[in-house]
Structure 1
Amino acid sequence: MYNLGIDKIILGTAGLGGVWGKVIAEESVSTMVDALSRGVCALDTAPAYGDAEQFVGQALARWTGKRPAISTKVGRLKSYRTDQATYDYTRDGMRKSVDSSLDTLGVQQIDVLFLHEPAAIPPAEIEFVVSQMLFFKEQGYAKKIGIGGNLPQQFAPYLKDNVFDVIMEYNRLNACSVEALRATIPNCDQSNKEYYAASPLNMGLLGCNFNEFSNFPPSWLDMKSIEQAKRINEIAERYQIPLDVLALRFLYSIPASFKVVLGAADNDQLMSSLQAFDAGILPAHIYNEILQTLN
């Protein structure tokens, strides 16, 4: 059994940056600092996450402990809504974006630079975009480069080569789906890549948005996930465990090598999630019952 300790948890900053609703800058910055004080040693951000990069930069300036690892992204431009996206994968656009990220974050080098949302790249441009990512690594802009987003079929070869160091997918490893266990994680293990599981609560479906999304599904959420969340909620109610706690402890219990990009919109959500992980793995019978719903 792999140990999903605090060093395997990365604080994602989309919610803190304002893409899920309005936030108070000071509260977002203080939540990031609190996460670091609790032992979280990595922050994940992106230009597309509202004001997240700015808040991360402020948190880093305030933090007096060991510098955390910082990951950000390139390709998708600044936005305050998850369902509105603008992309720029041109050479000048990507270089301008990375320069801006370094300046905003107040760092000289990015620990992991992700290619944001590879599915949005026209197939004919993939080779050029990948070469630009290699440029960022070779020139020292980033220590590692990764793919940040669920992989389209045309990116399958990059799971096996040595171009990218990290693969981050969302909604592919949680209590609604373990698809990553069938393909991506084994491929990452074979090619010596790290795997980041983003959206452990399936964009809030397995947490604070369960009732809203179940009754009024957003256009981007598939019905299969909603039906699965309902099954998980029934298990949570039967064992009297809050849905989000059950979902996070299920993730903690999975015997595979990966890191979790934990989302939070405020300090209360962050602390609740960290406490869920502190509770440890699920009893085997509950874990297996959840697995059975996923088959």
Structure 2
Amino acid sequence: MDYSKFAHTDRKISRLGFGAMGLNGVFDQLDDQQMIKSVLFSLDQGINFIDTARGYGRSEELIGKALKQWTGERPFIASKVSPTRPPSSYPVMSGWHHPAPVKIVYPQGSIRKSVETSLKQLDIESIDLIQLHNYWPMWDTQEDWMEELIQLKEEGKIKHIGVSVPDHRPELILSLVRSGKIDCVQAVINIFDPIALDCLVPICEENQVAVIARMILDEGGLTGFLKEDTTFREGDFRRKYFDVLPRSIYIEKVEALKQFIPSYADSLAELAIKFVLHHPGVTTAITSMQVKQFAANNIKAVQKERLPDDIFETLFIKHRWIRNFLQARRHMD
């Protein structure tokens, strides 16, 4: 396993992280013990970074149970503050894909309440990294939310402060990165959408801000699983995610990546993981690994040789496909 230093500390975290969104059953229905075993397997294989959120259903609870069974060094735990749903007078998904006032999304006291609930669910005394689950630049001039986070840090309930970019627009976070007020940014980075590598990641490097890459497999699409007749069960958000445009377009884009298999990766998933981790400014890359076999495959991928620079550049320039599925699919509701 490869490791990198977190922000301006000496703490080393695995460059492949355990994304715990899948522990809430959004992708598949697994029993608790299966998912806990996948967490323990990943830790045993050298992964020491886990990313979860208050909004991920029972994810924190299951991680807490896994930590009780884990006998090794405690992993780096990152979670996210649960935002408050704006009143119905605001547009659908305000605060996520449309701006909303911070006093509406994170009213006074809500951040503390969310963090303290996370601590109970995880059954730990301090969370290594707390991130706002969404953020908008106009919040910079209003300090209440940051003061609440700083107070929690001074109390020892959290160790580091971060922000998750709400969708595919990494430029939203640049002013906050340069402010010196945060330690970490979480953003979408994958073969189709590498735009964060253009500016956000280099600027984070300059300011010693850690970068968590998410959606590195584009919700599974970059594994090649999607077919014209693929169906999704009720409750799986991917029922709409891949159909913002005709599905055939997405499949065609994925098919074009197969020219790099097996010369530079044994699978499309491996190619996608190696692509994101090619940039040294990516501190860790997370993907859902609630299934033990998924975890094993992903861990194997990071143990392979890195992509040649010219192949990375080809993927970076010629296969980027900038679109905001997360925002566009909301208009299908």
Percentage of identical aligned residues: 24
- Tell me the TM-score normalized by structure 2: 0.74
Where does structure 1 lack aligned partners over 5 or more consecutive residues?
A: none
1:16–1:60: structure 2 CA closer, same or farther, 3 Å change rule? Answer: same
C-alpha distance in 2 between matches for 1:116 and 1:213: 33
1:287–1:76: structure 2 CA closer, same or farther, 3 Å change rule? Answer: same
| Number of equivalences | 286
C-alpha distance in 1 between matches for 2:303 and 2:19: 18
Out of 155, 159, 166, the residue aligned to residue 177 of structure 2 is 159
1:211–1:134: structure 2 CA closer, same or farther, 3 Å change rule? Answer: farther
Out of 210, 219, 243, the residue aligned to residue 268 of structure 2 is 243
Secondary structure of the equivalent of 1:261? strand
The offset of 1:259, in angstroms, is 1.4
- Tell me the TM-score normalized by structure 1: 0.83
Give yes or no for contact 1:146–1:167 (8 Å, CA) kept in 2: yes
The offset of 1:123, in angstroms, is 5.1
- Opposite residue 38 of structure 1, the aligned amino acid is Q
Secondary structure of the equivalent of 1:99? helix
In structure 1, the partner of 2:25 is 18
1:155–1:246: structure 2 CA closer, same or farther, 3 Å change rule? Answer: closer
My pick for the range that moved more, 66-75 or 131-140, is: 131-140
1:271 aligns with 2:296: yes
In structure 2, the partner of 1:188 is 204
1:208–1:53: structure 2 CA closer, same or farther, 3 Å change rule? Answer: farther
1:207 aligns with 2:214: no
In structure 2, the partner of 1:66 is 73
Secondary structure of the equivalent of 1:58? helix
1:182–1:162: structure 2 CA closer, same or farther, 3 Å change rule? Answer: same
Secondary structure of the equivalent of 2:222? coil
- Opposite residue 145 of structure 1, the aligned amino acid is I
The offset of 1:106, in angstroms, is 1.0
Where does structure 2 lack aligned partners over 5 or more consecutive residues?
A: 5-12, 86-91, 96-103, 233-237, 321-333
Deviations 1:18-45 (A, max 9, x none): 1223221111111101111111111111
1:194–1:238: structure 2 CA closer, same or farther, 3 Å change rule? Answer: closer
In structure 2, the partner of 1:95 is 112
In structure 2, the partner of 1:114 is 131
In structure 2, the partner of 1:294 is 319
C-alpha distance in 1 between matches for 2:51 and 2:312: 28
- Opposite residue 107 of structure 2, the aligned amino acid is T
The offset of 1:258, in angstroms, is 2.4
C-alpha distance in 1 between matches for 2:311 and 2:60: 39
The offset of 1:262, in angstroms, is 2.7
Secondary structure of the equivalent of 1:197? strand
